[in-house]
Amino acid sequence: MEFNLQWSQLKSPRLQLRTLMWNLRDTQNPDFVRLVIARAIAPEQLPKITSEDMASAAKQSERAVLRERHERESTLQRSLSGMVDESALSAYKALCSRK
């Protein structure tokens, strides 16, 4: 697929371009710049690459820790009696209703 055609098919190409430029200019993210320059990330991938994939290794690690902590906190815990904590259940239902 032609490079320009890929950009034109995006829902918000301006936002993707802004995100791409931000990550290429980020001095704390030299790995992404190296990957683009070395063509480890092909030009055809740039219109579709996620900001998560553009992030530095440190930022990806930080996000993984936060995601893990959030998953652990949102998991319903059973008490010794085997009953689900009602306050945790209502918090879980409220969280699910937001999606």
pLDDT tens by residue, 3-60: 667 666 777 778 888 888 899 999 998 999 999 999 999 888 888 888 888 888 888 8
86 token code pair: 């009602």
45 token code pair: 């991938």
Token look-up 């209703």 returns 97
Number of structural domains the chain divides into: 1
- The answer as to whether 84 is a domain residue is no
- The answer as to whether 19 is a domain residue is yes
Express as a percent the part of the chain with pLDDT over 90: 20
pLDDT tens-digit profile of 59-87? 889 999 998 888 877 766 555 566 667 77
User: Which residue, 31, 38, 33, is CA-closest to 59?
Assistant: 31
- The answer as to whether 7 is a domain residue is yes
- The answer as to whether 17 is a domain residue is yes
* Angstrom distance (rounded) from CA 19 to CA 72: 30
- The answer as to whether 64 is a domain residue is no
CB-based burial, 21-33: b 16+ in 10 Å, e otherwise: eebeeeeebeebe
- pTM confidence score: 0.58
